[in-house]
Amino acid sequence: MMSSPLPHRIRRPVRVHLPGMPAATIRFEDGQRSSAKLQTVSVTGGLLRVLKPLSPGAVVELMFSTHIGPVLAMAELLSPCSAVPIGLQPFRFITVDNTDLRKLRTLIASSWKTRTQNLVASLQV
């Protein structure tokens, strides 16, 4: 069953930086592929590090690997961030399979917990 990862929320979803910036593969509707690094992710989308800007508005298949397993989703590419020297391409998830959505939520929760524990530990020193 496919579902939209955009639940009706009042608060902005948690965003996390994943360790090692996992590699991401982007597949366009015409079959072309592009590679990127996943810099930031949330349940609603994220930010890719790309060598050159990709077409805003393009609907793509996005796949990235994590320690929890691969995540595959359909996403819409948004307008690139032009104020930075390295290509940063935001995206929003359109559909994510329920299994992949569970992996994504687990990944975000795990990264958030680790970040919070590291912050607390650094304050105690």
Q: What CATH number is given to the structural domain containing 6? A: 2.40.10.220
- 87-110 per-position pLDDT tens digit: 899 999 999 999 999 999 998 898
Q: What is the pLDDT of residues 45-74, one digit of tens each?
A: 999 999 888 889 999 999 999 888 999 999
Give φ, ψ of 79 to 5 degrees: -65, 135
Total number of domains in the chain: 1
| Closest by CA position to 86, among listed 52, 55, 63, 47 | 52
Find where tokens 């299994």 sit: 99
Domain assignment of residue 104, given as a range: 2-124
- pTM, to two decimals: 0.78
**114 DSSP 8-state letter:** H
Residue 21 exposure: Cα atoms within 13 Å on the Cβ side: 12
